[in-house]
Amino acid sequence: MDNQIIAHLDMDSFYASVEVRDDPSLSGQPVVVGSDPQEGKGRGVISTCSYEARKYGLHSGMPISQAWHLCPHAVYIRPSGKYSIVSARIMEILQDYTRHLEQVSIDEAYLDFSDCGSYDQAEERAFLIKKVLREHEGLSCSIGIAPARSYAKIASDLQKPDGLTSIRPDNLNNIISTLTVDKIPGIGKKSSTLLQSRKLFTFKDLADADIQLLQEIFGAWAVGVQDIASGHDTSGLKDQGPRQSIGRETTFAEDTDNPDLISTTLDDLARSLHAELISVHARTRTVGIRIRYTGFITYTRSVSLSHAEDNLASIMKAAHSLIEEFWEGKPVRLIGIRLSGLVYHDPKQLTLDQFFR
């Protein structure tokens, strides 16, 4: 861990920023990319929104109808396939600055900066990447640098937008100990509320907590959570060759049993995954869905296609058939889609397929 330097790069409000870049008249306005709000009657969720929109309480995963009521004067835009094209260009640029790149979604990636030899050099490289992305793509990003992937992701989130935050090993515990538990990747609002009800508010509280208490909340993930909170995580980039699956998921602001909202959210996830599939020149053999109910009760189901597909309609049809087959009508907290058994058209594109969930 002492010699490992990991960076996490997250494009700032990616979809919305691309729209503002392409239409400067949108600059300074609240921009929302997602489903059609239909004047507050629409179904589906926000894919992303500009920082101006976030001032009104809007955020990714929020029902689009709720967003309309909070900010009816926002500019609402349907997602576009151009995001995957921009993403591919960004990842191609990043490969010039690292020996190992792991793309984890259409707008974020981990980079191995260990060859820099020092945090000073790593920060200089990060500044250069930010400069190049702004000059070539007209977009800003936030970068976190740290001795492990979890802390790099935490760091990238500390100063947004357009931030660069470095957490060095000798100051790691001082920085993270007072952070609130929701800063740990994977812990959302509901988990935070549950932890707070047990008087666990900060990383230090989690580090000092009885592991059995954490196991009651997180199950098998409890040890990993405590390692991160204690400053003991040493995870780096995954070195597993071409990724064989990619996934997307949305956590609802409130648990929902609304079939229309679940259906349109599933469609939005499918569109986003399809764009990523096309961007890496791949097809999928298997479509899977993931549903989480209250209390972290999670189920997954999948179906194999008759042949490898890159057709959006086929992906949507498979996902909907799985939902219809086993959703019990109970309120849903999280829903996701995963495409697996990926088949690549062009071996030259394999280096782009470094996804992590």
257-310, pLDDT tens digit by residue? Answer: 888 889 989 998 999 889 888 877 889 999 999 888 876 677 888 999 999 989
H/E element, 7: strand 6-11
Q: Which two tokens stand for residue 191?
A: 């988990």
Query: Residue 90 — pLDDT band, cuts 50, 70, 90?
Result: very high
pLDDT > 70: what percent of the chain? 94
CA 153 to chain centre: 10
Q: 10 — phi, psi (to 5°)? A: -130, 115
Q: From the CB of residue 160, how many other CB atoms can be counted at a distance below 10 Å? A: 16
194-251, pLDDT tens digit by residue? Answer: 899 999 999 999 999 999 999 988 888 899 999 999 999 999 998 645 667 888 888 8
pLDDT of residue 347: 42
Name the least confident of 44-53, 274-283, 316-325.
Answer: 274-283
Q: Is 8 exposed, middle or buried (0-12, 13-18, 19+ CB in 10 A)?
A: buried
Q: From the CB of residue 299, how many other CB atoms can be counted at a distance below 10 Å? A: 12
pTM: 0.70
3-state secondary structure of 204: helix
Residue with tokens 């003991």: 232
- Write down the catalytic residue from 52, 102, 108, 276: 108
Q: What angle do CA 210, 238, 149 make, to 5 degrees?
A: 50
Q: 221 — phi, psi (to 5°)? A: -80, -5
Alpha carbon distance 189, 169 (integer Å): 28
pLDDT of residue 88: 86
pLDDT of residue 239: 62
Residue 123 a catalytic site member: no
Alpha carbon distance 102, 110 (integer Å): 5
Phi-psi region of 163 (alpha: psi -120 to 50; beta: other; left: phi over 0): beta
For the chain, the straight-line distance linking the first and the last C-alpha, in angstroms and rounded, comes to 22
Query: Residue 354 — pLDDT band, cuts 50, 70, 90?
Result: very low
Query: Which comes out higher in pLDDT, residue 349 or 2?
Result: 2
Query: Residue 348 — pLDDT band, cuts 50, 70, 90?
Result: very low
Alpha carbon distance 56, 153 (integer Å): 25
pLDDT of residue 356: 31
53-65, pLDDT tens digit by residue? Answer: 999 999 988 999 9
Q: 114 — phi, psi (to 5°)? A: -60, -30
Q: State yes or no: pLDDT of 101 exceeds 70.
A: yes
